[in-house]
Amino acid sequence: MKQQLLFALFILTTLMACQTTTKDTNNDTPQPLLQVGEWKGAFTIDSTGKTIKVALEVISDQEIWFKNGEEKIVVNHIEVDSQQLRIVMPVFGSIFELVRQNENQWKGKWINNHKKDYEMPFVADYVGTKQTVDTKPNIDFAERWQVTFSPNTPDAYPAIGLFEVSSEGAATGTFLTETGDYRYLVGDLQGNQLTLSCFDGAHVFLFEAVFKEEVQLLEGTFWSGKHWKESWTATPNDTFELAQMDTLTHLKAGLETIAFKLPTITGDSISLTDSRFEGKPTIVQIMGTWCPNCMDETRFFVDMYEQYHSKGLEIVAIDFELIDDITVFAESVIRMQQDLGVQYPIVYGGYASKIEAAKVLPQLNHILSYPTSIFIDKQGKVKAIHTGFSGPGTGIIYDNYTQRTRQLIEELL
């Protein structure tokens, strides 16, 4: 009953949020309060006025698209009147609270509720029609790069940069690391200046670099919102590879299984010894509702569950939250179930620390990344552990990863 009540309240709030407040008094037809067309948004990330840009398109007062290259995030949770605009992002639930400056500008802040007291100034300006980059690059730009973040420091780590630059200078791409990817990045190459950015509802990323053509070197800076900044370098490399995802996390010596007993949003608990898992291959997904890579993996697992559950596959997710509160867990899980159509059970692991996650699953040598997925056979033995997830922004790498995972599921079945 508690879960049903929470879900009913969430649906009611969502329906109310989708309503606008102004109508034409003559014909009772809703009049658009937002200029339909292309808008350009900007997050201010520091005291110097540094901004991260995002493209959005207003379809109507009840639908806005946030766009990262080929990714389109459709938003329908909108409240708007003549002076106030409130946008609630799907899945992650972060919020824009904006005030009308004039018909072509809204200004206010973006609030990330997954983090305590985390907000950034935001302004949206009307563009009208889609703009194109004027400056065309006059250099030959490679597609695959060997990247080092925080070079020449003890915290240095490798990555692969995947970039595409059009003849007009429009740039898209992503960075693939051993623990996941940076999803859909979009920007431009103007002269020797490369800029890539994205907003996914949970994070705001900006990558800038100068291309030194004579030595084929990118030197740049990476900003993650207002809380993280680091340098990075890259050189073209078609053969460089990262460590394989299934080699980074493993069971401790002498162990073959994992065990846990954790609560659900209804107050019940789930354990792998429950009858629902007996004699069935099972995927244990270690994730967080705040984590875009986790949500990409969840979309894939939703498809796998729909396809293979009737054949015996079980999936259970262990959610770790940035705010260690069972109420936050319940609200986030209900929203995720609604927005992504998750049918498999989700339990609460606690605070989103890799150290805390390792305490929940002490059978593992460590947990390096959200997400991490554990594949268990019909006898309850761990057959594979995948660290991170290569999402759809990585193109053929995503296709290959999901194909291999699908093959593993069929072998376990």
Q: 358: domain CATH number?
A: 3.40.30.10
Judge whether 8 lies within some domain: no
Q: What digits encode the pLDDT tens for the residues 282-294?
A: 999 999 999 999 9
User: The domain containing residue 354 runs over which residues?
Assistant: 245-412
Q: Are 120 and 226 found together in one domain? A: no
Q: What is the enclosing helix (H) or strand (E) of 212?
A: strand 204-212
Place of tokens 């019940």: 268
332 near 319, Cβ under 8 Å?
yes
Burial class (CB in 10 A: 0-12, 13-18, 19+), 173: buried
Domain boundary among 201, 236, 271: 236
Judge whether 7 lies within some domain: no
Q: What digits encode the pLDDT tens for the residues 30-40?
A: 557 899 999 99
Lowest-confidence pick of 8-22, 69-83, 167-181: 8-22
What are the structure tokens assigned to 315, written together? 């999936």
Judge whether 1 lies within some domain: no
Q: Which residues contact 99 (CB under 8 A, 6 or more apart)?
A: 83, 84, 85, 106, 107, 108
pLDDT at 10: 46
Alpha helices in 68-156 (DSSP H): none
Place of tokens 């639930």: 93
Q: What digits encode the pLDDT tens for the residues 248-272?
A: 999 999 999 999 999 999 989 999 9
> Letter for the amino acid at 67?
K
Strand partners, 212: 217
pLDDT at 17 over 80: no
pTM for this prediction = 0.87
Q: What digits encode the pLDDT tens for the residues 292-351?
A: 999 999 999 999 999 999 999 999 999 999 999 999 999 999 999 999 999 999 999 999
Q: Are 57 and 108 found together in one domain? A: yes
Strand partners, 271: 261
Q: Are 369 and 272 found together in one domain? A: yes
Stretch 53-74: mean pLDDT: 95
What are the structure tokens assigned to 91, written together? 């899945």
pLDDT at 52 over 60: yes
pLDDT at 18: 43
pLDDT at 287: 96
Q: Are 289 and 395 found together in one domain? A: yes
